Amino acid sequence: MKLGIIGLPNSGKTSLFDALTRQQIETPAYPGQIGEETHVGVIKVPDGRIDRLSEIFRPKKTTYADVTCMDITGAARGISSGRQKAAVMSEVWDVDALIHVVRAFEDPAVVHPDGEIDPAGDAAALELELIFSDLELVETRLERIANDMKKGVGKHLESEQAVLEKCRALLDEEKPLRNLQLSDEEKALVGSLQFASIKPELVVLNVGEDEIGSDRTAEIISGLNDFYQGKEAQVLPLSARIEMELSQLPPEEAEMFLADLGIGEPAMNRVIREAYTLLGLISFLTAGADEVRAWTIRRGTPAVKAAGKIHSDIERGFIRAEVIAYDDFIAAGDMARAKELGTLRLEGKDYLVQDGDIINFRFNV
């Protein structure tokens, strides 16, 4: 699973990327050159259940779920043509969901590409880039279909044409394709087109360190919410600079820093959780003396496929899954007691794995 961070230059993308991936990539105050390298990193998905299970099982190894993250540095206003666009869009196409960073922080030392802090305006500008790029794709494809039809070889393309017309109508209204409810069949028809505005999106408002919870911030959020109304995107405020600093402190110091700020947990944890939800992902857990581990799957995955996440042999030789919900396990205290209580149960191949299921697969190869 891959997340891509987009936003105008100097909005705080790299700061957020550093915070998410606990890296320390430099964040220059002058916007980088378009086409500069994209940073790629891995986000460990924070999970209190894994922490707790590790305390109980004291395993040799603890492994959190992870998500790949790309800092797409070249996405800027006015890129909707030419080579820059091709470079940036190919990165956007490659990710499963977008985190769009919008700048609210004021700092004369950090140049804004338009010289003025305008969160709703900036957000709208970048959303339009995605929409225009998709519109171009749709129109090019529609023209080609029309030509084929003229030549009498395009009869089979009628249903694709119908879906594309739906897409065009929406894009013409400057709405993203993620708003469109398409059936699986319709999706397949346009699946080869690399749409950008169809990606699920989380909007992160990057506010100044002393502006968290301020009236100005509330006003900006309300403006952004107005813009995003009906566009299927969620707005989350945070200070990328604080998050970056937090991510680089040793755990005890980070806790003290959080307490000083009066915050319970880093906003980063929420960003990661929201992104996970946005992608329709859940975790199932395995726990034993060797390893306590979270595994990422899509919601609605049957047990036999979940087994395949661990090893193809387990999928192939799947017999049964011993399953218990995390909360039931904690309530029972241990597996023996859970068995007595009947909360530890056996499930077959088609059982749909739930978030937080602790699973032991029985298999035979």
Least separation in angstroms between residue 240's CB and ligand GDP is: 4
Q: Which stretch binds ligand GDP (CB under 6 A): 40-48, 104-112, 228-236, 314-322?
A: 104-112
| Pair of tokens at residue 81 | 């043509």
- Quote the CA–CA distance of 349 and 343 in Å, as a whole number: 19
Q: Residue 9, interface with ligand GDP (CB under 6 A)?
A: yes
Q: Residue 133, interface with ligand GDP (CB under 6 A)?
A: no
Residues numbered 18 to 37 that lie near ligand GDP (CB under 6 A) are 27, 29, 31
Least separation in angstroms between residue 257's CB and ligand GDP is: 15
Q: Are 289 and 60 a contacting pair, CB within 8 Å?
A: yes
Least separation in angstroms between residue 211's CB and ligand GDP is: 8
Q: Residue 39, interface with ligand GDP (CB under 6 A)?
A: no
Least separation in angstroms between residue 258's CB and ligand GDP is: 17
**Total number of residues binding ligand GDP (CB under 6 A)?**
20
Least separation in angstroms between residue 117's CB and ligand GDP is: 11
Least separation in angstroms between residue 177's CB and ligand GDP is: 25
- Quote the CA–CA distance of 18 and 77 in Å, as a whole number: 23
Residues numbered 285 to 344 that lie near ligand GDP (CB under 6 A) are none
Query: Which residue type occupies 123?
Result: A
Residue closer to ligand GDP, measured from CB, 73 or 301: 73
- Quote the CA–CA distance of 250 and 317 in Å, as a whole number: 43
DSSP-derived secondary structure letter, 155: G
- Quote the CA–CA distance of 95 and 2 in Å, as a whole number: 5
Least separation in angstroms between residue 102's CB and ligand GDP is: 10
Contacting ligand GDP (CB under 6 A), which of 206, 217, 296, 301? 206
Q: Are 142 and 162 a contacting pair, CB within 8 Å?
A: no
Q: Which of 97, 117, 99 is nearest to 107 (CA)?
A: 117
Residue closer to ligand GDP, measured from CB, 10 or 283: 10
Q: Is 275 buried (19+), middle (13-18) or exposed (0-12) by CB count in 10 A?
A: buried
Strand 318-325 relative to strand 291-298: parallel, antiparallel, unpaired? unpaired
- Quote the CA–CA distance of 254 and 51 in Å, as a whole number: 17
Q: Which residues pair with 234 in a beta bridge?
A: 202
Least separation in angstroms between residue 3's CB and ligand GDP is: 15
Q: Is 248 buried (19+), middle (13-18) or exposed (0-12) by CB count in 10 A?
A: middle
Q: Residue 15, interface with ligand GDP (CB under 6 A)?
A: yes
Residue closer to ligand GDP, measured from CB, 27 or 296: 27
Q: Residue 208, interface with ligand GDP (CB under 6 A)?
A: yes
Q: Which stretch binds ligand GDP (CB under 6 A): 4-12, 78-86, 155-163, 219-227?
A: 4-12
Cβ neighbours, 10 Å, residue 27: 18
Residue closer to ligand GDP, measured from CB, 163 or 267: 267
Contacting ligand GDP (CB under 6 A), which of 105, 132, 351, 361? 105
Q: Which stretch binds ligand GDP (CB under 6 A): 102-110, 163-171, 212-220, 312-320?
A: 102-110
Least separation in angstroms between residue 56's CB and ligand GDP is: 39
Cβ neighbours, 10 Å, residue 240: 28
Q: Are 31 and 110 a contacting pair, CB within 8 Å?
A: no
Q: Residue 217, interface with ligand GDP (CB under 6 A)?
A: no
Residues numbered 226 to 285 that lie near ligand GDP (CB under 6 A) are 239-241
Report how far Cα 18 is from the mean position of its chain's Cα atoms: 16
Q: Residue 119, interface with ligand GDP (CB under 6 A)?
A: no
- HEC states along 180-202? CCCCHHHHHHCCCCCCCCCCCEE
Contacting ligand GDP (CB under 6 A), which of 1, 11, 303, 358? 11
- Quote the CA–CA distance of 294 and 276 in Å, as a whole number: 13
> Footprint of ligand GDP on this chain (CB under 6 A)?
7, 9-15, 27, 29, 31, 105, 107, 110, 206, 208-209, 239-241
